[in-house]
Amino acid sequence: MASLRDIKGRITSTKKTSQITKAMEMVSAAKFSRAEANARSFVPYMDKIQEVVASIALSSTDVTHPMLVSRPVKKTGYLVITSDRGLAGAYNSNVIRHVNNRIIERHTSNDEFVIIAIGRVGRDFFVKRGFNVVEAIIGLPDQPNFADIKDIANKAVGMFSDEAFDELYMTYNHFVSAIQQDVIEKKVLPLTDLDQTDKKLTSYEFEPSAEAILEVLLPQYAESLIYGALLDGKASEHSARMTAMKNATDNAKELIDSLTLSYNRARQAAITQEITEIVGGAAALE
């Protein structure tokens, strides 16, 4: 049985831990509020650029672009969005598990795919297992700007255009609510799902030509898809960490209550033992 000193020490250390997790919960709550606002404010832009791209690509049957055409798949690219830090529940493990399972299902050799990693956790996982991580970026701010990921997004699009891989999948956590994040796998390239929009397409006049506009707009659209997924992932990360720290704080409080009860029982037992020994000693002297 643990001594009173041991139990007291555990109570003290658990209280200190709960103070840390509570502070981390409050910090994550503040970051989550901003990240959610950033993700939601980006949605109208994405909707509009998708509408414009779809209108140009679908209304002009003679317009073609390499990013709109599927080609035989010899190599696949996976863009994986994780965080730089842990303590966020299953946020990182869910994404990594999903990508790892897809790789096992689709490929028989490491030469059949490459990985572009955003976030230290994902990069470290795949590097340690010998996967071909061709690009990686870490140290992104909690509220990233497009400039922060412009280079890696541009490289991802450029690698597809240069036929370094023939398709690009993006995997990230989609923010649903403060307590729910769903893993999403989205095919970024080639852009073959533009006709899936339910909105009525607006008719545009193109100057100088539809081909020239697509040449500029399609890479920007693909890069915007990556940036939008990153904003979505950041909102999910902060909400997941906020929830994880809240659960840790609640568990610490329950443990403190349990340890306090054990401490009081042990102290009462010790007092009772002392009284018994005093009474027994006094009776022996009579």
- Average of per-residue pLDDT values in the chain: 86
| Angstrom distance (rounded) from CA 113 to CA 107 | 8
* Mean pLDDT, residues 49-65: 72
Per-residue pLDDT at 196 exceeds 90: no
pLDDT at 241: 92
CB-based contacts of 156: which residues, under 8 Å, 6+ apart?
Answer: 77, 79, 116, 135, 168, 188, 222, 226
pLDDT in tens, 103-117: 999 888 888 999 999
For residue 141, which of 230, 223, 80 has the smallest C-alpha distance?
Answer: 230
Per-residue confidence band for 67, with pLDDT thresholds at 50, 70 and 90: confident
Do 162 and 76 share a structural domain? yes
18 and 114 belong to one structural domain: no
Same domain? For 220 and 256 the reply is no
Domain shared by 42 and 110, yes or no? yes
The residue from 241, 256, 271 where one domain ends is 241
Residue pLDDT, tens place only, 68-89:
888 888 999 999 999 998 888 8
Q: Which residues pair with 189 in a beta bridge?
A: 168
Task: Find where tokens 């890479």 sit.
Answer: 219
Question: Which residue range is the domain that position 79 belongs to?
Answer: 24-241
Same domain, yes or no, for 111 and 215?
A: yes
Q: Are residues 78 and 213 in the same domain?
A: yes
Q: Is the pLDDT of residue 61 over 90?
A: no
pLDDT tens digits for range 90-139: 999 999 999 999 999 988 888 899 999 999 999 999 999 889 999 999 99
User: Are 120 and 132 in a shared domain?
Assistant: yes
Is the CB of residue 161 less than 8 Å from the CB of residue 70? no
Of 206, 221, 241, the last residue of a domain is: 241
Which CATH number belongs to the domain containing residue 152 in this structure?
Answer: 3.40.1380.10
> Same domain for 128 and 267?
no
Q: Say yes or no: 83 and 131 in one domain.
A: yes
Is residue 190 classed as helix, strand or coil in its secondary structure?
A: coil
Please confirm whether the linkage preceding 208 is cis (ω < 30° from 0). Answer: yes
C-alpha distance from residue 118 to each of 65, 80, 91 (Å): 27, 6, 14
* Closest to 214 in 3D by CA, of 191, 187, 195: 191
pLDDT exceeds cutoff 80 at 239 = yes
Q: Same domain for 232 and 275?
A: no
Q: In this structure, are 221 and 139 located in the same domain? A: yes
Asked whether residue 12 falls in the same domain as residue 51, the answer is no
Q: How many domains does the chain have?
A: 2
